Structure 1
Amino acid sequence: MMFLRYLAAVPLILLSYAAVPFGYLTLSSYLFQRSLPGRREEFDFAAEFAEKFTDLDGFWPVPVAVLLFVVLWWMTSAWTRLAWLPSVPVALVGIASPRSGEQAVLAVATPLLAWGLAWLAARIVSWPVTGDVRRSPVEVLVRLRGGGRLRVQSRRLLLDKLPPPRHATSPVGRVAIRFDRISHVEVGVVSSPAQWWFGNTSELTITPGPVLRVIGGGQEWLLPVDDTATTLRLVRERAAARAKAEPRPPLESSRWANAKVLWDLGRSQPLRPNLKKVRHGTHHLMLVLTALTAAMAGYAVFRMFSGSWSFVFGALIFGGVALGTALAWASTGAGLRLAEENPHSPLADDPDPRRTPVTGWSPQPVVLGQTSDL
């Protein structure tokens, strides 16, 4: 059951986001006290940790990270990145001005430990891929041979970590296909190396071996996946359970601006390889700012109702900023999602699944087994 998976994962997330940075501060205080000359009192780790934990002045990254985890509870790929928010600031202070070699080592180990705990939590929730995982919205990550990553999300398939687009002006470094637009999925084998182009002009080298072929939304993907049977089953069952049609805005809408740039690039040939990657996640900084200002607005509201009515101005200012950044994040994200899901015009037909996609391709029958409830 997914509930039991999350029951095991949430304590690891709390350790990663809260206990690790506060544990670092506690151990740092211990190392500092131990370095002082003269007689030293016995160090009370529990009391020091409780003091650090309750002193949140200027240490907003912890509640911000926890709040973002609640919002992104299904996006396992984000959990490890959120672990950096509380740990990296305190670690940088320790690295910049270490009092001893032990503290320097501790400062380096802190964000690594936080990342490892968050990674383990994501692994518990998403692997092994049993029936409850396949039918749930939780994100499952699948590595591709030769680079790239397939993210099986709640409503769509997303490809990221691809090579840089061949066109330097490509607005997105990722491509996606919604489950409700998938028309064909099959497993095959490629017997010789081949190059495959995606809609954002990224070019992936497909090494010989098993390949998952996905067609939908005007796109065709060849994904070099080692465990094709598991991935095929995951995609089919997730699509059957989670596919949901989403109306697209009219083509004259400004939200199509990034997608139309891709449509124009598709009509020309790239002149030379591009080494500059697309920074596709920068708009998520607005989501971090939203969580931070929303927390500040909530604190101002608390102080306002506890008798300090002067905090009403803080509640209005921070609340307004939080609302504005949230709307900007949603609008920017919607435009990028349209480009990722429609690198070709939505008026174009899907590629013909009877066509041989690359030289050396041959379809391969796959037996999924009889344990679909596992």
Structure 2
Amino acid sequence: MLVFLRFLVAAPLLLAAGIGVPTGHHVVSSYLFRRELRDGRFDFAGEFRDSLTETVVLWPTALALVLLVVFWWMTTAWPKIALVPSVPAAFGGLVFGLLDGGEHAAAGVAAPLVAFGLAWLAAQVVTRPVRDDVRRSAVEVAVGLRGGGRLRVQSRRLLLDRLPPPVHPMSPIGRVALRFDRISSVEAGDVRTPAQWRLANTSELTITPGPVLRIIGGGQEWLLPVDDADGVGLLVSRRSRARAKPDPRPPLEDGSWFHAKLLWDLAGQEPPVRNDRKVNHGNRWSALLISALTTPMTLYSVYRIFTDGWYYLVGLLFFGIIAWIATHVWFRQGVTYKLTEENPVSPLSDDPDPRRLPVTGWSPRPATLGQTSDL
């Protein structure tokens, strides 16, 4: 129930970021134009109502609201979603700023910054401090790692992203994940000497002396340098018990295992030349961008068919086919990458032995998960 109250507090911030900022920018832009033209008294309330029906505001705002509803639990995505209706405002402000003055440009630049900040603040309201209501909920909690990288405690799994580039240039993924139902051990400890820890996708974490969280499961072993190892360990342990749900994997003969099998073949190999580039998943995100641009046009064509005539059926077919293909490509590639992230080690592999010392200088903490510190 407390998580619900957090969302109630965060909702006005999200609405302000997704609706208030783009409509407010439109009102400010109109005011600047009217002032330059000396066009009499400016009706702020009327202009605000009119801005809600402007295409440049209506469709991006509607798309952002749909994305927020779909990804209500993914707090790390909220600031990015808030940019969807604000980026067109920023682009228009910069264009008019080059023609008519710096005030338009300043308003355009401010719009995405304010939207991003409001959505980020809403995410903090929902996730911080991390108490038992958050630990048992589905809402995503992001924890930064010392030296770079991020742990995202999601609804059904753990996800490591923002990792250093994989050491092997043939590695197909830049992230790794571990589902809650496959976790076998969660242990907090300390490392006394610096060390390097290679993950299953061949990315290497720099383990600096200090608290470290050790997680074993699904054939993987993670050593995560987090300052509050006890608190993060408690979060992972409580959520895994509350929200673990088996997720059947396709047969190993299925084609969606292609990238995963490529990664399994790299296990234990040292590349002749170390990679220094991050994995490029640009094709998938390009498909998502195309889908996001053409889907509103498809819906708009449907609307115009009922209001203006059947000749808009051409637009419906044109944009609809492109939107369907782009969405299909994005979804299918998403399934493949998700399967690879969650299975960077073969499902036939055994879990590492938790009694083994992972690195020199490692020492476990007794009774780690019985503590109740907040993040």
When the two structures are superposed, what TM-score results if normalisation uses the length of structure 1?
0.91
> Which deviations, in whole Å up to 9, do the C-alpha atoms of 1:17-36 show, x marking residues without a partner?
22212211211222233234
Question: Residues 203 and 147 (structure 1 numbering): CA distance in 2 closer, same or farther, change over 3 Å?
Answer: same
Cα deviation for residue 166 of structure 1 reads 0.8
Equivalent position of 1:233 in the other structure: 234
Aligned to 1:35: 36
2:53 aligns to what? 54
Determine if contact 2:22/2:57 at 8 Å carries over to the other structure: no
Q: Equivalent residues in 2 for 1:143-222 (5 A)?
A: 143-222=144-223
Amino acid in structure 2 at the alignment position of 1:270 = P
The code of the aligned residue for 2:211 comes to P
Structure with more helix by fraction: 2
Matches of 1:119 and 1:194, distance apart in 2: 33
SS in 1 for 2:339: helix
Counterpart-to-counterpart distance in 2, 1:18 and 1:86? 8
TM-score (norm 2): 0.91
Task: Give RMSD over aligned pairs.
Answer: 2.3
Q: Which residue in 1 is equivalent to 2:67? A: 68
Aligned residues of 2:96 and 2:104 also touching (Cα < 8 A): no
CA distance in 2: counterparts of 1:138 and 1:316, whole angstroms: 38
Correspondences of 1:1-374 after superposition (within 5 Å): 1-36=2-37, 40-56=39-55, 60-98=59-97, 99-280=100-281, 283-304=284-305, 308-312=309-313, 314-315=315-316, 318-366=319-367, 368=369
CA contact (8 A) 1:229 1:366 kept: no
Cα distance in 2, alignment partners of residues 170 and 3 from structure 1: 40
CA distance in structure 2 between the partners assigned to 1:191 and 1:371 by the alignment: 24
Paired residues, number: 370
Change over 3 Å in CA distance of 1:305–1:106 after alignment to 2: closer
1:192-226 residue CA offsets vs partner (Å, 9 max, x unmatched): 11101011111111111000000011110000011
- Helix, strand or coil at the partner of 2:184: strand
Structure 1 residues 30 and 4 mapped into 2: Cα distance closer, same or farther (>3 Å)? same
Q: Structure 1, residues 54-109: CA drift from partner, whole Å, max 9, x if none?
A: 12268632222221111111111111111222112221232244122232222222
Counterpart of 2:54, as a letter, is D
- Distance of aligned partners of 1:247 and 1:169 in 2 relative to their CA distance in 1, 3 Å threshold: same
Aligned residues: percent identity?
57
Contact 1:68–1:291 (CA under 8 A) maintained in structure 2: no
Aligned-residue offset at 1:288: 4.7
Partners of 1:171 and 1:363 in 2: CA distance: 33
**1-side partners of 2:101 and 2:308: how far apart?**
46
Structure 1 range deviating more: 109-118 or 47-56:
47-56
1:64 and 1:288 in contact (8 A); partners too = no
Residues 21-52 of structure 1: CA distance to partner in whole angstroms, max 9, x if unpaired?
2211211222233234xx55222222222222
What do residues 274-307 of structure 1 show as CA deviations (whole Å, max 9, x unaligned)?
2211134752443454455444444444454568
The worse-fitting range, judged by mean Cα deviation, of 162-171 and 315-324 is 315-324
- Which consecutive unaligned segments of at least 5 residues does structure 1 have? none
30 and 160 in structure 1: CA distance in 2 versus 1, 3 angstrom threshold: same
